[in-house]
Amino acid sequence: MLDIASLRDILNQPQKIIITTHHKPDGDAMGSSLGLYNYLIQQGHHARVIAPTDYPEFLWWLPGNEEVTIYTENTELSAQLIADADIIFCLDFNNLSRINDMGELVRQSSAKKVMIDHHLEPEDFDDYRHWNINACATAQLVYTFITEQLQRPDLVDADVATCLYTGIMTDSASFRLPNTTSAVHRIVADLIDAGAVNYRIHELVYGNQSENRLRFLGFCLSNKLEILREYNTALISVTKEELKRFESNTGDTEGIVNYALSITGIRLAAFIVERTDLVKLSLRSTGEFPANEICKKYFKGGGHRNAAGGQSVDSLEMTIQRFKQILPEYKTLLIQ
């Protein structure tokens, strides 16, 4: 294990640094990674972000995005860079299985590994950890890592601030979730002072949808939404064929589950989608209901109490059946 003084010493010299994040990166994954990237390059480090897979187009405007390497599209180069790195930052995930094939490459690399994350139950693969499950976003932790642990608030420039603002905004569902504390709002205020143009970021992320995506959302809400009143649960399921029909791209399904959760009285919402090789579940809940417990126990997944995900190798129909069969076990909690 490294202590912060040793890590600070190491970072005082230019290093070869890889920053990586979970597969199918979301706004917090890319926002926190590029926020840290923009900070490190100011300090003269040879830094590079490697994303395990591609990510949605509404994140491509982030400062530094043109320098991101996608592992699945540049496997050999990525493997070489990971093997040669001095330091690997692992952001917004805490289990190497979350970065697919890259996991073993990271594990085998002699680089020092730094985990910055806010998910439960971290795997023990890191040399230094800045981890707090109460943080609303990994971007919040990157901010405190730079300002408090590395003591460089002066280096939070407009690019760093823009990326971190995006991470906090997306992971807190636009500052709505219970973990959007006053401390988070103070950080967000600092980020705006440092040059993050808040209204522009909202527009770039949320006001930038393709026509197909919006029509697909309409289809899901009018044709695919199922309400299980007995369990205060709402469910939307989508087949491969439907994804194809609406020319759905990476990220187009993100957030649809929240519409199901927004219905009065609904405590648990599920979005179940048939992907190429597996069925993916996204669960959202309100209050104390443990969506992550269902994902962990039944769908090889996990996440936060109110936002969790998992997967199934059964057919879509079977997965939906299984999800419905689980609900009686949670009935008391669901109807409270």
Please report, as ranges, the residues that interact with ligand 5GP according to CB under 6 A: 119, 282, 301-304, 307-311
Contacted by 303, from Mn ion, ligand 5GP, none: CB < 5 to 8 Å by type: ligand 5GP
Strands (E), the chain: 16-21, 46-51, 69-70, 87-91, 112-117, 128-131, 225-228, 233-238, 268-274, 279-285, 302-303, 307-312
- Comparing CB distances to ligand 5GP, the nearer of 64 and 303 is 303
Q: What is the DSSP string of 31-67?
A: HHHHHHHHHHHHTT-EEEEEESS---GGGTTSTTGGG
CB of 169 to Mn ion, least distance (A): 12
Under rule CB under 5 A, which residues in 42-101 are in contact with Mn ion? Answer: 92
The entry of ligand 5GP, Mn ion, none near residue 56 (CB within 5 to 8 angstroms by kind) is none
Q: How far is the CB of 65 from Mn ion (least distance, A)?
A: 18
Q: Which stretch binds Mn ion (CB under 5 A): 137-145, 151-159, 172-180, 238-246?
A: 137-145
CB of 171 to Mn ion, least distance (A): 4
Nearest in space to 320 (alpha carbons), one of 258, 270, 285: 270
Contact between 178 and 191 under an 8 Å Cβ cutoff? The reply is no
Question: Could you say which of Mn ion, ligand 5GP, none residue 25 binds, taking C-beta under 5 to 8 angstroms by partner kind?
Answer: none
Residue 117 contacts Mn ion per CB under 5 A:
no
- Closer Cβ to ligand 5GP, 282 or 285, answer by number: 282
Nearer CB in complex with Mn ion: 126/171: 171
State both tokens at 100. Answer: 């697919």
Contact between 171 and Mn ion (CB under 5 A)? yes
Residue 281 has phi, psi (to 5 degrees) of -115, 140
Interface with Mn ion includes 232 (CB under 5 A)?
A: no
Toward Mn ion, which CB reaches closer, 15 or 282? 282
Ordered strands of the 307-312 beta sheet: 225-228, 233-238, 268-274, 279-285, 307-312, 302-303
Helices and strands per DSSP (H, E), number in the chain: 14, 12
For residue 111, what are its two tokens?
């680089």
| Cβ 287 to ligand 5GP shortest distance, Å | 17
Q: Among 21, 23, 28, 191, which residue interacts with Mn ion (rule: CB under 5 A)?
A: 28
- Residue 213's binding partner out of Mn ion, ligand 5GP, none, with CB under 5 to 8 Å set by partner kind: none
User: With contact defined as beta carbons under 8 Å apart, do 321 and 286 qualify?
Assistant: no
- The count of chain residues that interact with Mn ion, using the rule CB under 5 A, is 4
The residue among 52 and 302 lying less far from ligand 5GP, judged by its C-beta, is 302
Q: Which is nearer to Mn ion, 95 or 210 (CB)?
A: 95
Query: What is the DSSP annotation of 273-310?
Result: EE-SSSEEEEEEE-TT--HHHHHHHHSS-EE-SSEEEE
Calpha distance 95→98 (Å, rounded)? 6
**Footprint of Mn ion (CB under 5 A):** 28, 92, 138, 171
